[in-house]
Amino acid sequence: MTDRVLIEHPVPEAQELLPSMVGRVAVVTGASSGLGIETAKWLALRGCDEVVLAVRNTAKADGVVDDIVAEWGEQVPDLRSRLVVMKLDLADLSSVRAFAAAMAERHSHLDILVNNAGINIPLGRTTVDGFEMMYGTNHIGPVCLTAELMPLLLAAPNRAVVSTCSSGGADSLAPAGLVPDTDEGLTQWPAYGRSKAANLVFTVELQRRLLAAGIDHVRAMSSHPGWTYTGLVDGEGFLVRMLNKMFSQNVQMGTTPQLASVGAGLLPADHPNSASTHAFFGPRGCKSMRGPPHEMPMFREDEVKDVELGTRLWDLTNEAIGIDSWAFDSSDRIELP
């Protein structure tokens, strides 16, 4: 067997944090557009044995695979065989559980779970299971997916990482604001922020409980893409869309914090680029909106790491989903530095 071709990322700061992914299996949600496409592509170009594009629209994702192979297939001959499209609807918990069951049939372990998928839409719609659509898709679905895939992550032969894209929630960290007891008076962008703040707080709580259980080979990380040109404001007015197009960074650069969170989380603890206990990656530039990736303080870090807030969100989210137990002893937690 010939050595697998590994492509270097054009952003040096991202390349530094992207080790060889040969031998690893990855799942990227929302991989049919924007940040998800770039993340899946670069995990494959760095050598992953398999990258699963977990998407609602499989036909669209098939087209994404065709485009990636058209661009890189000549340099990476086995690329198509390592990009796999699978159906996943995060707004339907039965679909989430079916996806996890299919992954367990396909693989004995999972090294990388990137909870990338997210939506920003007007209020008024609900998921199959009755949650407000953004909260259900952006928070409830990913938590259920992480819990269902945890046995495979725990079985990873080396390090494994759960990376969650958690932008847009800095103003939604009040405990009452993270749990949608009522949507009365709430508008679209605060509701979106609520779901992303919940992502960040829950990911920190997951890391806290993994460490308390003595599990140090599975890391829970978060990232922030900065102001990146994606489809999140496509439904806004002309001026907002024009400003977004003029001042945002491109998707390739916006993906680098997410890739950095994955790569740094996989590096051995004694590696100089290894991430801290619960790392948060974002752009290095002005107000963390643009530029190459680096490990940075979380937005409102003291509140994000608040044990009472994390415990309440953990308990209420698990109860809402119907999770009685995780695949490890999650009953205790420790303070994070």
Domain that holds residue 50: 12-321
Mean pLDDT of 45-60: 98
CATH classification of the domain holding 226:
3.40.50.720
Which tens digit of pLDDT belongs to each residue from 71-125?
999 999 999 999 999 999 999 999 999 999 999 999 999 999 999 998 988 888 9
Structure tokens at 251: 């998707």
Given a cut of 70, whether residue 302 has pLDDT beyond it is yes
Q: Would residue 265 count as lying in a domain?
A: yes
Highest mean pLDDT among 2-16, 129-143, 213-227: 129-143
Task: Identify the band that residue 271 occupies on the pLDDT scale cut at 50, 70 and 90.
Answer: confident
Q: Would residue 223 count as lying in a domain?
A: yes
Q: In this predicted model, which residue has the larger pLDDT, 203 or 335?
A: 203
Given a cut of 60, whether residue 27 has pLDDT beyond it is yes
Mean pLDDT of 269-290: 78
Backbone φ and ψ for 169, nearest 5 degrees, come out as: -115, 15
Q: Would residue 297 count as lying in a domain?
A: yes
Residue 241: what pLDDT?
Answer: 60
Given a cut of 60, whether residue 150 has pLDDT beyond it is yes
Catalytic member of 42, 192, 314, 326: 192
Given a cut of 80, whether residue 182 has pLDDT beyond it is no
Q: Would residue 6 count as lying in a domain?
A: no
> In whole numbers, what is the pLDDT of the chain averaged over residues?
87
pTM for the whole thing?
0.91
CA 188 – CA 155 distance, rounded (Å): 39
Given a cut of 80, whether residue 286 has pLDDT beyond it is no
Q: Would residue 331 count as lying in a domain?
A: no
Backbone φ and ψ for 195, nearest 5 degrees, come out as: -65, -40
Cβ neighbours for 78, distance < 8 A, ≥ 6 positions apart: 4
Q: Would residue 333 count as lying in a domain?
A: no
CA 23 – CA 277 distance, rounded (Å): 24
Q: Would residue 330 count as lying in a domain?
A: no
Number of domains into which the chain is organized: 1
User: DSSP letters of 145-184?
Assistant: HHHHHHHHHHT-SS-EEEEEE--S-TT--SHHHHS-S--T
- Please indicate whether residue 135 is annotated as part of the active site: no
Residue 297: what pLDDT?
Answer: 86
